[in-house]
Structure 1
Amino acid sequence: MKCLWNLLLLTGVMSGLVLESVSAEPKQAAASHHQPPNFIVIFCDNLGYGDIEPFGSTVNRTPCLNRMAREGRKFTHFCVTAGVCTPSRASIMTGCYSQRVGMHWNPRDGQVLRPISPYGLHPDEITVAEILKDKGYKTGMIGKWHLGDQPPFLPTAQGFEYFYGIPYSDDMTQAVGKRLGERFEGNQWPPLPVMLNDKVIEAGVDRNLLTKQYTEKAVEFIEQNQDQPFFLYFPQAMPGSTQKPFSSEAFRGKSKNGPWGDSIEELDWSTGQILDKLVELGIDQNTLVIWTSDNGSPMARNMASTERGTNNPLHGRGYTTAEGAFRVPTIMWWPKTIPAGTVCEELTTTMDLLPTFAHLSKAKVPTDRIIDGHDIRPLMVGKAGAKTPYDVFYYYAMDQLQAVRKGPWKLFLPLKNFSRHPHFKKGESSKPLLFNVVTDISSEHNVAEQHPEIVKELMILAEKGRADLGDTNRPGANQRKPGKIENPLPPTLETTSRN
């Protein structure tokens, strides 16, 4: 546990903690080398591009992620498909844009699902968990779901055999609901529930303990399933959506960056626990671990501050279509398969996990529907000459197409109306903005006038996107509907005990 040991030396909280030593020569894996690989996806919440040391942070100490990057591969152009939680998570599960599967917006909740929503990920969608479960994988999810809190939409109905966590964001508490009143039916929100499979087992969560408890459950899941292929989806609750994130006593008040830094340093410790356990069990060389975030950080009012995270050197806040919202820090680790200490600068996305995991497990990617992601195995293993599989990538804000990327070029489309925009101001006319997001990482130089042919090409691609995925007041030809039920009930100890 080298990274944990270093962190404890830095924080001065060694007393009272027991460090479990890891053998320098791990035992031989029980499974044969022919066993398909295990998959672990660690998905942080609202953690920004510049929030960890491998991506430039100088205020948050992340020795375990430093190790992960040193032993694995950084992806510097890895994108999510939305600047907010629910649509981003829909893409990682389905391999599709959230607009494709109807999880980008609904009239009751807006852009993210709220407690007791009648909406959720449609049961007819095929998730990465269902694909792997059908291939004999043990599938588990620990953490934040946020794709529907009603029984047909819960993880256990979407391919996961085991679920421990909260069904939506940690900031959607009963106290917040009371302040909202009738808005989003907040006056009906229950105490923040912890669920085990489809039952609430705790009402009113101590959020300071979430990272610690999730990590303990994740380690247990790995230990219990070490002799068979497994898929662990580990969406952490932190740093989350509150102004002051939560952390356990061992980390609280110990960082140089306040509560935000405390929570990130505990997330780093959590990652170290996972990597150490894989090495201890001798299954590290048969396990692909992907560490990333669901979208960029919201950042403080003063964007030079790091107290609510930072997306620097990228432009813009989370919750928008800025690069700082869509491009997230990503590290992939698979000893002896992914080349150590390397960097991938090609465009890849969360939609790629489903087809890539399917191919690695020798499962079939669904052919009866459009899947937007791609198999990125050549980029993961550093194959010489491998390029991005994306001819075009779309940046939506709910149902509005705001930007298009092809190669290094990102075009912000001229818009008359919008609810939020990282570059345009309401009431002012807008014109195309073209950035080279490879050479101009901070999106500071609009070169639309110098490259009219590129603007024209991207405008044509934008129209193809609208026809396919829709745009404001314009349905797309290939959109699917979300799930919806009648008479949803709040997830409580009482209501879920009836199921």
Structure 2
Amino acid sequence: MLSIKKLKFVIVSCFVLGLAVFMAAMAPKPVSKTPNIVLFFIDDMGYGDLSVTGALGYKTPNIDKLAAEGMRFTNFMAAQAVCSASRAALLTGCYPNRVGVAGAFGPKQGLGLNPNEETIAELLKANGYTTGIFGKWHLGSDSVFLPLKQGFDEYYGVPYSHDMWPLHPWQKQAQYPPLFWIEGNKQVKEIKDLDDASLITGTVTEHAISFIRKNKKKPFFLYVPEPMPHVPLAASANFKGKSERGIFGDVLTELDWSVGQIMKELKVQGLDDNTIVIFTSDNGPWLNYGDHAGSSGGFREGKGTSFEGGQRVPAIIRWPGVVPSGRVSNKLLSNIDILPTLVKLTGAKLPKEKIDGIDFVDLLKGDDTKTPRGNFLYYYRQNSLEAVRKDNWKLVFAHPGRTYEGSLPGKGGQPGPAPENHDFPVALYNLGRDPGERYDVYSQNPEIVAELEKIADAAREDLGDDLQKKTGKNRRPGGKITK
């Protein structure tokens, strides 16, 4: 029979042991050095196109859930407001004009991302990752520029925007060749009409899920550049006519479903907690398509402009146990910052050549005292510096550019006018008070103007400026097939 003293010792020991077991169970799980990565890159999705950012007429519960379980960024910039340039920036961590990419590449144009550039896929592959892309590439449709030449192990998708086909609304001005799905480097199936286009989102989803299943036992990088909601819009039978926002709402509902299916598969395979999920867009909405276009969320202008509606995009990052849930960050960031951030999180090596991205790992982990990016350059067209930003101040230089204002938008898939050579005057905006860029305070703040002009002068020396006939000292050539 135990004495009172021994009995007390046993009770205390059991209590301490139980407490230790409880605390161990409640402690955060150690983070793997090789997390999986899923990167959603949506085409022409505006800042206001999610429920969580104010969308009306449809809901995006799966994407909203990513925001609730991760961190949402409200000051996140596409590097340029156009397809190929933005994609080059995302994958290389560079301003696209640094790597010789501008605009949107057409079919068999002989142009693409230079294979000498190191992409996220190549850097992660060198660190033991399996890499796959399912969706829209748009960094060169010639075989020498396709994803398998840029670090990806698998590819199934479309080589460029799916409006570059014979059914384009502007067919009389630009006759395009047939559009095919590409698997690896081979054309496998033609997208002939809108019925075929209605299968795009489902097809991308199926291939992404298959990739997860095949690679569940090793680290992977899954890049999902969804072709929708770029026009022409088409939703599958399960989603057509289901929203209050017409075909655009139907397409967004299906895209949200796609994100949900991929997230569900991660959970089924036991990969949910060890996967970094990134969700963002290549640029703002193509506003002159009216009811077939999204919302800039109140920001000025849209796709193809260097105003906030063209370049400020939704951005969400989720990684349970590492990224605090339910956080909102208002710090200035860009899609060029994703590459160095993933490199640091995975232990991969940075590219050998200079990049422009800045890692924001500390901010991502919840340290709000960190401000990784202090300024940002708004380049457009071939190499025109149209604006610079420091903190909340944005200096817009006089430049010709696209405008959606003053013209009625189109309807039913047909575009309205969007003049390309509107003359924008020099102006200074305080985005902290005036995110819509409506109140020019240039004359009231000469010291701010001078400070921003110094940033612009340095950028012109480094990257050039067509508007001032400067080539820049540190630009690299894009990919080009010479005959």
Normalised TM-score (structure 2)? 0.86
- Residues in 2 aligned to 1:427 and 1:43: alpha-carbon distance in whole angstroms: 29
Q: Map 1:309-328 onto structure 2 (within 5 A).
A: 309-328=294-313
Question: What is the CA-CA distance between 1:203 and the residue it aligns to?
Answer: 2.0
Amino acid at match of 2:452: L
Q: Which residue of 2 aligns with 1:234?
A: 224
Q: Which residue of 1 aligns with 2:86?
A: 88
Q: Which residue of 2 aligns with 1:145?
A: 137
| 2:33–2:346 contact (8 Å) kept in structure 1 | no
Match of 1:459 among 438, 453, 478: 453
Match of 2:211 among 191, 199, 221: 221
Q: Which residue of 1 aligns with 2:472?
A: 476
Structure 1 residue 403 and structure 2 residue 393: aligned? no
Amino acid at match of 1:474: K
Q: Deviations over 1:174-204 (max 9, x none)?
A: 34499356x5xx3xx4311101111111123
Match of 2:259 among 254, 266, 271: 271
| 1:82–1:397 contact (8 Å) kept in structure 2 | no
- Residues in 1 aligned to 2:463 and 2:197: alpha-carbon distance in whole angstroms: 37
Q: Deviations over 1:310-330 (max 9, x none)?
A: 102211121111101100011
Q: Which residue of 1 aligns with 2:202?
A: 212
Structure 1 residue 420 and structure 2 residue 412: aligned? no
- Residues in 1 aligned to 2:458 and 2:278: alpha-carbon distance in whole angstroms: 32
Q: Which residue of 2 aligns with 1:387?
A: 371
Q: Which residue of 2 aligns with 1:133?
A: 125
1:410 is paired with a residue whose SS is strand
Query: After alignment, is 427-436 or 135-144 more displaced?
Result: 427-436
Query: After alignment, is 457-466 or 427-436 more displaced?
Result: 427-436
Structure 1 residue 170 and structure 2 residue 162: aligned? yes
Structure 1 residue 194 and structure 2 residue 176: aligned? no
- The unaligned stretches of length 5 or more in structure 2 are 1-28, 407-418
User: Structure 1 residues 88 and 278 mapped into 2: Cα distance closer, same or farther (>3 Å)?
Assistant: same
User: Structure 1 residues 32 and 161 mapped into 2: Cα distance closer, same or farther (>3 Å)?
Assistant: farther
Query: After alignment, is 333-342 or 154-163 more displaced?
Result: 333-342
Match of 1:99 among 84, 97, 107: 97
Q: Which residue of 2 aligns with 1:251?
A: 239
Question: What is the CA-CA distance between 1:32 and the residue it aligns to?
Answer: 8.8
Structure 1 residue 338 and structure 2 residue 323: aligned? yes
Q: Deviations over 1:449-472 (max 9, x none)?
A: 221110111112112111111111
User: Structure 1 residues 54 and 306 mapped into 2: Cα distance closer, same or farther (>3 Å)?
Assistant: farther
Q: Deviations over 1:424-481 (max 9, x none)?
A: 9999976431112233222222111221110111112112111111111321111111
- Residues in 1 aligned to 2:234 and 2:129: alpha-carbon distance in whole angstroms: 33
| 1:300–1:308 contact (8 Å) kept in structure 2 | yes
1:352 is paired with a residue whose SS is helix
User: Structure 1 residues 198 and 313 mapped into 2: Cα distance closer, same or farther (>3 Å)?
Assistant: same
Question: What is the CA-CA distance between 1:112 and the residue it aligns to?
Answer: 1.2
Amino acid at match of 2:215: N
Question: What is the CA-CA distance between 1:485 and the residue it aligns to?
Answer: 1.2
- Residues in 1 aligned to 2:303 and 2:137: alpha-carbon distance in whole angstroms: 19
User: Structure 1 residues 426 and 282 mapped into 2: Cα distance closer, same or farther (>3 Å)?
Assistant: closer
Q: Deviations over 1:119-140 (max 9, x none)?
A: 1111111111000001110000
Question: What is the CA-CA distance between 1:486 and the residue it aligns to?
Answer: 3.8
- Residues in 1 aligned to 2:422 and 2:172: alpha-carbon distance in whole angstroms: 32
Q: Which residue of 2 aligns with 1:444?
A: 438
| 1:49–1:312 contact (8 Å) kept in structure 2 | yes
Q: Which residue of 2 aligns with 1:18?
A: none
Question: What is the CA-CA distance between 1:223 and the residue it aligns to?
Answer: 1.2
Question: What is the CA-CA distance between 1:308 and the residue it aligns to?
Answer: 1.3
1:152 is paired with a residue whose SS is helix
| 1:432–1:455 contact (8 Å) kept in structure 2 | no
Amino acid at match of 1:484: K
2:91 is paired with a residue whose SS is helix
| 2:231–2:292 contact (8 Å) kept in structure 1 | no
Amino acid at match of 2:451: E
User: Structure 1 residues 267 and 429 mapped into 2: Cα distance closer, same or farther (>3 Å)?
Assistant: closer
Question: What is the CA-CA distance between 1:276 and the residue it aligns to?
Answer: 1.4
Query: After alignment, is 370-379 or 159-168 more displaced?
Result: 370-379
| 1:320–1:397 contact (8 Å) kept in structure 2 | no
User: Structure 1 residues 120 and 428 mapped into 2: Cα distance closer, same or farther (>3 Å)?
Assistant: closer
1:195 is paired with a residue whose SS is strand
- Residues in 1 aligned to 2:171 and 2:405: alpha-carbon distance in whole angstroms: 32
| 1:71–1:335 contact (8 Å) kept in structure 2 | yes
- Residues in 1 aligned to 2:382 and 2:313: alpha-carbon distance in whole angstroms: 19
Question: What is the CA-CA distance between 1:297 and the residue it aligns to?
Answer: 0.3
Question: What is the CA-CA distance between 1:72 and the residue it aligns to?
Answer: 1.1
- Residues in 2 aligned to 1:434 and 1:73: alpha-carbon distance in whole angstroms: 30
Amino acid at match of 2:106: R
Q: Which residue of 1 aligns with 2:249?
A: 261
Amino acid at match of 1:331: I
Q: Deviations over 1:326-349 (max 9, x none)?
A: 000111111111111110110111
* Number of equivalenced pairs: 438
Structure 1 residue 329 and structure 2 residue 309: aligned? no
- Residues in 2 aligned to 1:86 and 1:73: alpha-carbon distance in whole angstroms: 27
Query: After alignment, is 192-201 or 391-400 more displaced?
Result: 391-400
1:312 is paired with a residue whose SS is coil
- Residues in 2 aligned to 1:280 and 1:463: alpha-carbon distance in whole angstroms: 52
RMSD of aligned alpha carbons: 2.2
| 2:302–2:310 contact (8 Å) kept in structure 1 | yes
Q: Deviations over 1:351-398 (max 9, x none)?
A: 11111111111111123x210001111121221311132344334343
User: Structure 1 residues 262 and 430 mapped into 2: Cα distance closer, same or farther (>3 Å)?
Assistant: closer
Normalised TM-score (structure 1)? 0.83
